[in-house]
Structure 1
Amino acid sequence: MIKQLQRLMVFLLLLSGWLSAFLVTGLFGRTSLYLLLPVFLLGSGMGLMLKLTHIRATVLTLAVTAIAALALLNQFFPQHTPRLSALKGTPPDFFPASIEVPVVDELSAFMTERSLASSSTVTIQLIARLPAPARRMLIVDDRMYVTLSDLGAIYLIDQISTGQPSEHPILYHSGLDRPFGLAFSNGRLFVAEPYQVLELIDTSLDLLVDTEKILLDGLPDDGGHWMRALTSDSDGFLYLSIGSRCNACEEEDQRRATIVRIDPDTGETREFAYGLRNSLGLAVAPDTGQLWATDISRELQGRVPPPDELNRISAGEHYGWPYCYGQQTPDPLLGLEHLCRDSVPATVDLPPLCRPMGLVFGSSLAAPEEYRNSIYLLCGGSSYRASHPGPKIIRLPYDQGTISGPVMDFVRGWDPEWGAPIALAVSEQGDLFFSDEQSQAIYRVRWPVATKQGLEQGR
């Protein structure tokens, strides 16, 4: 009886060791000094177990306690621990993808060889360098428009389909205040500043804006999240995200933490969705016409961070912030259960600290079917935690308005010395583009020519 109690105590000691190990690595990374606690618990448990029994029983107990710890953490902290389902198979292969750099740039900041990894065989090519980071990209009629918030400017890259790097991007417009979101509606170009939305008009068709027209002004610009994402639907309506003023609070200005819909012909505006802390990714599904949005969740210092979100947006609905997050989980400080019950749970819980910066649908990509039937998100990673997973492009299988599979990495491997991706775009020719804050550059992701030829023959 005493020996059985001793074995039970050792079992619980090993279980607590695994629990603390998984939690510490999830919260603080594998280099944290907090790992001394699980090392001590596991080491003590193994030593005691070896005294009580033989090596095989010790190894078996270690395995059982590890699986039990994972099962418990998957139940109570699923957003920040390894998934048991990952044990059922091997992760997809990743292929090296060296970044192709034009000769003119090889002796510049791109002298060091740069390489990423992708789950598909793709080429990645530098196509433009800019005087500041491109916060947003919009491709219309073979032209890419990019906002350079730091310079208050919009640049234009013409003939984006040529496949040749652009040595001299065109300054399309300047004198703006932190321009961010871009949208095209019924042949008209719109840009979002923190406090207003402008229509930009090139009346002489010389690739230079000569007229600004205010569509909407008076937006809240008293601090907090100033980046305004912008998109349009097939009916021509514009959708604008207005981020919160704070990490977690009850806003005095009810326009904060919302998405608003704008009629570009009249300027009439109405609040479309609520409870969205900072939605930097907005896109309309090409098959259903429904709006989708990312949301960056609050920071929880010293706690397990909440998941970021991907939401399918419906008019008039509340998506939780600041009272709850994810699957209607009450916020530990502001959580109100009755308000959470009335909110819409996230369509997908994204990895904590993902910090989704961009959102595009892959339906027009010149890529294999599984990659066309996907939503692509750009995880920028968080600077608040040393253990954040780092930037990457992820994809979610998509089928007729629903997410049909788990989150999967698509491109990863950025070195913080030279890479910090911040925006995504898809061209009419089927290429995927991402911009990089660190290198102040734009890159093209392209599938093999054989893939494109096969798609064209099948159309």
Structure 2
Amino acid sequence: MHVRREKRSWMRRGVGAGAVLALLPALAGLAPAGAAEPPPPPPDGTIFEPERLPYGPEVPGKLTVPAGFTVTEYAAGLGNPRILAVGPDGTVYATRRQTGDVIALLDTDRDGDADRTVRVAHGLKRVNGITVHENVLYLATDKKILTAPLRGAGTIGRLRTIVDDLPDAGQHPNRTLAVGPDGYLYVTVGSTCNACDDTNPENATILRMPLDGKGRIIYAKGLRNTIGFGWVPGTRALYGMDHGSDWRGDDQPPEELNRIERGANYGWPWCFADKQVDPYIPNQPTPFTKSRFCAATKAPALTYQAHSAPLQMLFSTSASFPRDYRGDAFVAMRGSWNRSQPAGYKVVRVRFDGTTPVAVEDFLTGFLTADGTGVYGRPVGLAQLPDGSLLVGDDTMGTVYRVAATR
């Protein structure tokens, strides 16, 4: 076990002109900054790293799901599986960022666990995002978006680069992507830092572009690091889970579930939660005070425990899960490192009432030991198999689990 305290600083510059100009319509009529706001408090945080425990065949039995579900091992020994996607034939694809490749998991006898693993692409530095649309595989590295036709049985055609100039990655290189109900490709681009004014206006955003990668726009901004996102089934209501900044104590700022709307600004780095000013940012978004700037941003639909680290997000359309799960979302919470008591290390269910999220509850737990000192893995990827069961990928133990309904 290793615990240490560390203080960090961040860039100290004013907000970029682009960020302010984007909010000018909402800020119309507000007076320029007047009285100075209080000086920022010192950074506050603890690095706590639970001990990684050995993986064995008994681990799936340590995991807990609600009554009426079972959890089993789907595949193991995979190294560093990150984001998951499922092809039309049921083949599961997983990116592996550390080795820069993509693997396919095949369940050839359809017995509920993969019996074959095939590497389908390699040489992809920092590959993370993956999605399948109309039999085409889309991949995202920190700088590129690539596509390839699916050939079936764990094979793909030639990879083609359609974008090669995504913004520099910095601290958050894990791009994700998905095709929306409008037929456009959406790509998340995190900030380069913990809390600073990024100079590239495409950082801390979600981009939207045609499927050929040309003519992209900034769809939404002020999003520090939104990795998991998706649409409420049958609608165009887009939601994403954003990571709050570090070094602000155990319980702030919260992770945010945002309804993502075109042209909206969600406040980072100046604001968090319900348009709350981040007091740790030492300067002002010229020419406005932080409080006035934040008043014109969009607040989250829900918030969740700080430092939980939301990764892939998946809306359920499963016909085999109980009916009340349909239209709800699952989110993989990879787990904290900047909190004195660990948070996350689980998969949660976000309950929706129509297109409105109303509550978050535990769904798959047990990765973290009861005393919080050890972990059996860190969930990252989520996917739904054709039979409606849920796959959960763990990039620490190299395992993918299958959660199935028993009734």
Same fold (TM over 0.5): yes
Give yes or no for the alignment of 1:318 onto 2:271: no
Alpha-carbon distance, 1:159 to partner: 4.1
Which structure's residues are more often strand, by fraction? Answer: 2
Instruction: Specify whether residues 159 and 235 from structure 1 end up closer, same or farther in structure 2 by C-alpha distance, changes over 3 A only.
Output: farther
Structure 1 counterpart of 2:242, from 295, 312, 325: 295
Give yes or no for the alignment of 1:156 onto 2:100: no
Structure 1 counterpart of 2:137, from 152, 173, 189: 189
Larger Rg: 1
- Aligned counterparts of 1:235 and 1:272: Cα–Cα separation in 2: 13
TM-score (norm 2): 0.79
**Tell me, what secondary structure is at the counterpart of 2:98?**
helix
Instruction: Specify whether residues 212 and 125 from structure 1 end up closer, same or farther in structure 2 by C-alpha distance, changes over 3 A only.
Output: same
- Aligned counterparts of 1:296 and 1:365: Cα–Cα separation in 2: 31
**Residue aligning to 1:110:** 56
Residues 15-39 of structure 1: CA deviation (Å, up to 9, x unaligned): xxxxxxxxxxxxxxxxxxxxxxxxx
Give yes or no for the alignment of 1:223 onto 2:170: yes
**Residue aligning to 2:198:** 251
Structure 2 counterpart of 1:330, from 277, 295, 308: 277
- Identity between Structure 1 and Structure 2 (%): 27
Q: 1:172-211 alignment to 2 at 5 Å?
A: 172-201=120-149, 207-211=154-158
**Tell me, what secondary structure is at the counterpart of 1:289?**
coil
Q: Is the 8 A contact 2:87 2:135 kept in 1?
A: no
User: Alpha carbon RMSD of aligned pairs, Å?
Assistant: 2.3
Residues 214-238 of structure 1: CA deviation (Å, up to 9, x unaligned): 1111112252200001111133211
Structure 2 counterpart of 1:134, from 63, 71, 81: 81
Instruction: Specify whether residues 302 and 390 from structure 1 end up closer, same or farther in structure 2 by C-alpha distance, changes over 3 A only.
Output: closer
**Residue aligning to 1:165:** 113
Q: 1:420-431 alignment to 2 at 5 Å?
A: 420-431=378-389
- Aligned counterparts of 1:439 and 1:362: Cα–Cα separation in 2: 25
Q: Which structure's relative contact order is higher, taking Cα pairs within 8 Å and 6+ residues apart? A: 2
Letter in 2 for 1:177: K
Structure 2 counterpart of 1:270, from 217, 237, 247: 217
- Aligned counterparts of 1:210 and 1:368: Cα–Cα separation in 2: 37
Residues 104-137 of structure 1: CA deviation (Å, up to 9, x unaligned): xxxx941545412223321111011243221100
- Aligned counterparts of 2:112 and 2:350: Cα–Cα separation in 1: 30
Residues 137-184 of structure 1: CA deviation (Å, up to 9, x unaligned): 001211111101111111112348923322321111111111111122
Alpha-carbon distance, 1:418 to partner: 2.4
Residue-pair matches, total: 342
Structure 2 counterpart of 1:341, from 270, 273, 295: 295
Q: Is the 8 A contact 2:169 2:190 kept in 1?
A: no
**Residue aligning to 1:398:** 352
Structure 1 counterpart of 2:67, from 114, 120, 125: 120
**Tell me, what secondary structure is at the counterpart of 1:339?**
helix
- Aligned counterparts of 2:152 and 2:383: Cα–Cα separation in 1: 24
Single out whichever of 247-256 and 298-307 deviates more from structure 2: 298-307
Instruction: Specify whether residues 361 and 411 from structure 1 end up closer, same or farther in structure 2 by C-alpha distance, changes over 3 A only.
Output: same
Alpha-carbon distance, 1:386 to partner: 2.7
Give yes or no for the alignment of 1:412 onto 2:360: no
Which structure's residues are more often helix, by fraction? Answer: 1
Instruction: Specify whether residues 323 and 161 from structure 1 end up closer, same or farther in structure 2 by C-alpha distance, changes over 3 A only.
Output: farther
Give yes or no for the alignment of 1:144 onto 2:92: yes
Letter in 2 for 1:369: R
Structure 2 counterpart of 1:286, from 233, 242, 265: 233
- Aligned counterparts of 1:442 and 1:321: Cα–Cα separation in 2: 33
**Residue aligning to 2:322:** 368
Letter in 1 for 2:138: F
Task: List 4+ stretches of structure 1 deviating above 3 A.
Answer: 111-114, 204-210, 301-304
Instruction: Specify whether residues 161 and 133 from structure 1 end up closer, same or farther in structure 2 by C-alpha distance, changes over 3 A only.
Output: farther
- Aligned counterparts of 2:107 and 2:254: Cα–Cα separation in 1: 39
Structure 2 counterpart of 1:234, from 178, 181, 188: 181
Give yes or no for the alignment of 1:352 onto 2:352: no
**Residue aligning to 2:391:** 433
Q: Please, which runs of 5 or more residues in structure 1 have no aligned partner?
A: 1-107, 452-459
Q: 1:73-92 alignment to 2 at 5 Å?
A: none
Q: Is the 8 A contact 2:82 2:393 kept in 1?
A: yes
- Aligned counterparts of 2:217 and 2:387: Cα–Cα separation in 1: 35
Q: Is the 8 A contact 1:130 1:169 kept in 2?
A: no
Q: 1:47-66 alignment to 2 at 5 Å?
A: none
